[in-house]
Amino acid sequence: MSWKDLESYIIEREMDFFVTYLNDMEQQLSKKTIDLEKEWDSLEKEKDRSYDHEEYLIERNEELDRHVEIFYSSFIITIFTFLENKLNEKCDTYSRKLKINVRDMRGSGINRAILFLEKILGFSLPDQKLYEELKILNEVRNCLAHSGGEITGKNEKLLSYFKSSTTITFYEYTHKKTKKIKISKQYCELTTKLIRNYLYELIERNRDK
């Protein structure tokens, strides 16, 4: 097995892990939803309904929503960190004999790593469309990591993207006058596919390195 084939194999294994993890957590969340619905059904059949119990179930429902929100947000942050680490590892591997490394470049995150791969190491980059999608993902990730998903400014680029997407959107806090990102499992799946495609294409375009 060549080094490039080994790289592809490692990426495949790690991306499969993310897919499995996403599905396993989704099953657990679905089970919680089913259990909650059963409790509601049971409550509806009771003649002497308890107000306190109703309040408890409402809290459970809100708690479930919160679990879903935290899980999907953390998934996006984690898998994007994985992408950053993989790109930085590639920069470090190919710059060992150079007097400059990726941390000497301006910028940060994937933008700095991609710039280093192209300008310093002479890598051929994947399709520009993939990179544009990664830039949007980067903004989503930063919003989740630094402001808990709240869009406090006029980030028209993000809001426009959300309005045209069927897998990620936002809802408004009227009392705060802010908007908050709402992520779906489908968006997590698309993110996984995007990162896999970008890393694969980066390897394939530079097999002669």
pLDDT score of 176: 63
Q: Are 179 and 170 in contact (CB under 8 A)?
A: yes
Model pTM score: 0.85
Q: Are 185 and 22 in contact (CB under 8 A)?
A: yes
Domain boundaries, the chain: 3-205
pLDDT score of 155: 73
Residue 174 has pLDDT above 80, yes or no: no
Give me the residue label for tokens 């929503």. Answer: 65
Helix ranges, the chain (H): 3-45, 51-94, 109-115, 128-147, 156-164, 185-205
pLDDT score of 61: 74
Residue 13 has pLDDT above 90, yes or no: yes
Residue 184 has pLDDT above 60, yes or no: yes
CB atoms within 10 A of CB 207: 12
Q: Which amino acid is at 32?
A: K
What are the pLDDT digits (tens) for 93-103?
A: 999 888 899 99
The rounded distance, in Å, linking the Cα atoms of 206 and 90 is 12
What are the pLDDT digits (tens) for 69-87?
A: 899 999 999 999 999 999 9
